[in-house]
Structure 1
């Protein structure tokens, strides 16, 4: 794994915008522009390294499914902050019916520098973003700059195949693709638009809809769109912990409560994905697979031995974009946060020429499907991170 500098393509900004990356440049809080899509450098991998990473990702996904099953069977929902017994029961039912429910994709975040085993930092299996740049923009970049080379990237083909394969699980009518109007950058919108495109290429009928525009028809007991059509299938880039607790949370739970009868909405991703997008999963994995080379020691009751040796990171159970993450160097005093957290061994992100790098390894229908790389200036990958392409040489 190497970081190499390269000259950006002429008119690169317009090029990636046409390919769906609607914010190649964004702003810091002081108003200064920063690149989000950054093709002034790229990462190069040998084939054997990518093959090894693919095996790691698929093993981690299998382990995560086992951990989800353990949470359900041992009723460990409260450790994930799921204290509403009705919601816990619905998540458990969703888990037991998982073969009947469409489920598309997820993204592992890995700490890896080309030497030693990759370490799992977290798994976002409910609302992962940075998909368009990983599936589309970096592929076209490779074809422009390295024709004839390869890339760890079968995302587009696998997503189309997944929709086609899972179409029989969907109820009649269009699949509504939903994002929030509160998304100021446009990241959610471009992700949902791209996934809608893959569904249409698979032959599905689709509709775009803002989640704020969804209505509730009291007479039929169903969600409806702006034209008062039933929302029978809904791909939502809206986290389950928000969906289940917002103003219409009780109605959302009602649509899950009748096992496929009248009023049901087929939500994609399904409710059981809550088990995989919660940082408590990291501690459950360490319980089940202590010492596994691709895991970091993780606990829910405090940092334990990590405070004295190795240091630790405190992560809110439902944080995103690095929000609320605090780093604690080894030898310091153990600090318990007021909010529920996962305390994970500190794994400093590898430093490539002053850039801190994290690998985003994609999974589609349980199989490793691609790689996206983000860089940050600091030790936490936050909302100011940059996306860089990669190539297999």
Structure 2
């Protein structure tokens, strides 16, 4: 694993916008000198490194599924700060094996040993278009003889074909609250993969979904019944909404309700309980840092690196935010490796239950937040 510099393509901004990354200017806070999509640098891996990472990711995914089974079978829903009324519905969703689509592991990796799990974004992961489409076309333009860990597009289409969904169109829901356009474009891309798999689809804003009390069903703005829907909208938000009680019982949602356990950072503590000392895990606890002298406290339902606290013998650092009301997990802290003054976090994608691709985000800080930049990668063998 190494970091290399390269010359950006002429007109790269228009190129990536034509490939769907229309939000790259809005994805960053204003005033940053570095663009969100940065092809002036990229990472190079050996095939042996990628094969090892694929194996580790699929092992981690299997461990996570067994953790869900453990939580459901032991009734540990309170550790995840889920509302008590939803516990039985989460269990039923898992017992039915409600269909799931994809997820993204965030990993610490420096090329010298097993990757370490930082968290699992298994409900509403983004940076998908960058990883699946945009960096693939970069590779074809700049390094056409090389390979890339990237079978995302094909695997997403195959997964949509395999999903057994109710008859009728699949609705694809985004929220109007997103001002950058990232979520709308991510949903539009996933909608395209579903259409390529043969599903009729309809686009809808979450804010435009209505509840037909007489018919006991969800409907869109045109009164079309919603029988199945992909939503880029977190389950914790849905469970706190007025229609949350209906959502857990009506319509087939992708991602399913049981994914609320995988997208919650309490998962990290459960994994450490079930697999203590595993080489791809960092110690993690819900009741405090225990023996850890260097640790990071993460809100169970935090996003974009907000509301985190790093404690080391050298001092304490905190990020601003409004998360943490539900509680924290305390995870052993190992700083992200440094390459050329930047710290990469690997976003390893899973589609269905198989490793499917890699996206890399860089930042100068110890926590990857909304100031990070996405950089492409290649396999040089």
TM-score (norm 1): 0.92
Name the SS for the 2:72 alignment partner.
helix
Once residues 271 and 354 of structure 1 are traced to their aligned partners in structure 2, the CA distance between those partners, rounded to angstroms, is 40
Contact 2:148–2:378 (Cα < 8 Å) also in 1:
yes
Q: How does 1:250-265 map to 2 (within 5 A)?
A: 250-253=245-248, 256=249, 264-265=250-251
Q: How does 1:1-393 map to 2 (within 5 A)?
A: 1-26=1-26, 29=29, 31-32=31-32, 34-84=34-84, 86-98=85-97, 101-166=98-163, 169-253=164-248, 256=249, 264-307=250-293, 311-330=294-313, 340-393=327-380
Structure 1 gaps, min length 5: 257-263
Q: CA deviation at 1:252?
A: 1.6
Q: Deviations over 1:95-124 (max 9, x none)?
A: 1110xx221000000000111211000001
Instruction: Go from structure 1 to structure 2 and tell me whether the alpha carbon gap of 1:143 and 1:330 turns closer, same or farther (over 3 Å shift).
Output: same
Q: Deviations over 1:293-336 (max 9, x none)?
A: 000000000001113xxx00000001111111111113769x9x
Once residues 362 and 136 of structure 2 are traced to their aligned partners in structure 1, the CA distance between those partners, rounded to angstroms, is 18
Q: CA deviation at 1:23?
A: 2.0
Name the SS for the 1:44 alignment partner.
strand
Q: CA deviation at 1:338?
A: 7.0
Contact 2:146–2:378 (Cα < 8 Å) also in 1:
yes
Once residues 339 and 267 of structure 2 are traced to their aligned partners in structure 1, the CA distance between those partners, rounded to angstroms, is 29
Aligned residues between the structures: 374
Instruction: Go from structure 1 to structure 2 and tell me whether the alpha carbon gap of 1:294 and 1:140 turns closer, same or farther (over 3 Å shift).
Output: same
Q: CA deviation at 1:202?
A: 0.3
Contact 1:26–1:33 (Cα < 8 Å) also in 2:
no
**Residue 321 of structure 2 aligns with which residue?**
none
Structure 2 gaps, min length 5: 319-323
Return 145-154 or 28-37, whichever deviates more: 28-37
Contact 1:306–1:330 (Cα < 8 Å) also in 2:
no
Instruction: Go from structure 1 to structure 2 and tell me whether the alpha carbon gap of 1:96 and 1:132 turns closer, same or farther (over 3 Å shift).
Output: same
Q: CA deviation at 1:25?
A: 2.4
Q: Deviations over 1:353-393 (max 9, x none)?
A: 11011000000011000000000121100011100000000
Once residues 191 and 212 of structure 2 are traced to their aligned partners in structure 1, the CA distance between those partners, rounded to angstroms, is 25
Once residues 351 and 122 of structure 1 are traced to their aligned partners in structure 2, the CA distance between those partners, rounded to angstroms, is 19
Q: CA deviation at 1:26?
A: 3.5
Q: Deviations over 1:201-237 (max 9, x none)?
A: 0010000000001111111011100110111111000
Instruction: Go from structure 1 to structure 2 and tell me whether the alpha carbon gap of 1:346 and 1:176 turns closer, same or farther (over 3 Å shift).
Output: same
Name the SS for the 2:291 alignment partner.
helix
TM-score (norm 2): 0.95
Name the SS for the 1:241 alignment partner.
helix
